């Protein structure tokens, strides 16, 4: 009999373990109870106990240790529990990857996270296109929050697509969608604000700002801060589309998206020139790297891109 060849250098060899046991392990570490873990994965109590015994032999560790009337996790099990949730989800997506996606028959619900400004620009045409191409599909829109900037991978882990302006995220899969422009506005009857602002006007004026004036939360404020033009956020609102309406009746200023202005022609505003030219606002789609294997996700991106391409130019 020929001698067994040693593994090629650089070859990854996985330990011999039934992948189904990983699912059982995840349930055991979450539930800390053999019966409940078995119910969670559809196994009887004896079968779950047998799986636990195999896992104990594999890891050479008790994993669950009885303390009085309940089980506690061993130190190794605590470490496994911290890693296993993401691993199980990634394995599930990997092993259920499909080569095709049929929009005509799908009943999938997609999740898109975006600001109210993006929703105003893209929401209605995207929903109409989705309904025409995939009548059985659904879509959930979620609002954005500054907290997602702290851990964008975690924030992207349970959604299909995030639509957010460039300048806030990096090192993630992305695709340009459409452009917008920053416009500084004041109430049309506000006579105290000049038509052209000086640097001092920018610093000393009262502003209504979305999510707080922060270079970390707004590419507009990142640009202004680099020039020493920090804004004073007298009023903060968790919205972009509300900005233009909140300046009406007072002496506040706002930096708004031009497409939001076009969607609110009834609001009495006048444009005010800033002492610097603002960069273009580029809205992009962002997604978790593991979505690359999902044909349904690629279809949604294509639909989103086509919808954005059909927006009227500015």
pLDDT at 154: 81
Average pLDDT for 250-256: 95
For 41-50, the pLDDT digits (tens) are 888 888 889 9
Q: In order of start, what are the domains of the chain with their CATH numbers?
A: 19-92 (1.10.10.10), 109-173+287-309 (3.40.190.10), 182-279 (3.40.190.10)
Looking at residue 15, its pLDDT comes to: 53
Q: Rounded CA gap, 251 and 67, in Å?
A: 66
Compute CA distances 76 → 26, 66, 303, whole Å.
13, 15, 45
The three-class DSSP label of residue 301 is helix
Q: Is the pLDDT of residue 13 over 70?
A: no
Residue with the bigger pLDDT between 271 and 23: it is 271
Q: pLDDT tens-digit profile of 210-241? A: 987 665 567 888 899 899 999 999 999 999 99
d(CA 238, CA 117): 11
Decide: 278 and 297 in contact? Cβ < 8 Å.
no
List the one residue out of 187, 64, 54, 178 whose CA is nearest residue 114.
178
What is the rounded average pLDDT of the residues 272-289? 94
């Amino acid at each position: 009999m020929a001698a067994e060849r040693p593994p090629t250098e650089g070859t990854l060899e996985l330990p011999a373990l039934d992948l189904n046991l990983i699912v059982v392990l995840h349930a055991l570490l979450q539930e800390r109870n053999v019966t409940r873990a078995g119910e969670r994965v559809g196994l009887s109590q004896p079968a779950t106990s047998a799986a636990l015994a195999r896992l104990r032999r594999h890891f050479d560790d008790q994993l669950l240790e009885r303390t009085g009337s309940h089980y506690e996790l061993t130190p190794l099990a605590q470490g496994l529990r911290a890693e296993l949730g993401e691993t199980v989800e990634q394995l599930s997506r990997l092993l259920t990857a499909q080569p095709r996606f049929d929009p005509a028959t799908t009943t999938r619900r997609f999740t898109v996270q975006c600001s109210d400004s993006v929703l105003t620009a893209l929401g209605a045409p995207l929903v109409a296109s989705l309904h025409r191409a995939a009548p059985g599909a659904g879509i959930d829109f979620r609002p954005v929050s500054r907290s997602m900037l702290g851990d964008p991978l975690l924030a992207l882990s349970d959604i299909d697509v995030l639509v957010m302006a460039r300048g806030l995220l990096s090192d993630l899969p992305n695709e340009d969608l459409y452009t917008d422009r920053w416009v500084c506005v004041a109430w049309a009857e506000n006579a105290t604000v000049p038509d052209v602002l000086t640097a001092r006007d920018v610093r000393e004026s009262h502003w209504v700002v979305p999510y707080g004036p922060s270079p970390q939360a707004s590419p507009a404020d990142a640009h202004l801060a680099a020039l020493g033009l920090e804004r004073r956020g007298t009023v903060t609102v968790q919205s972009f589309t509300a900005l233009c309406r909140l300046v009406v009746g007072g002496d506040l200023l706002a930096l708004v998206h031009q497409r939001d202005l076009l969607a609110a022609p009834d609001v009495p505003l006048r444009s005010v020139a800033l002492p610097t030219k603002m960069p273009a606002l580029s809205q992009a789609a962002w997604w978790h790297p593991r979505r690359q294997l999902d044909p349904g996700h690629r279809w949604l991106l294509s639909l989103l891109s086509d919808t954005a391409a059909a927006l009227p130019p500015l």
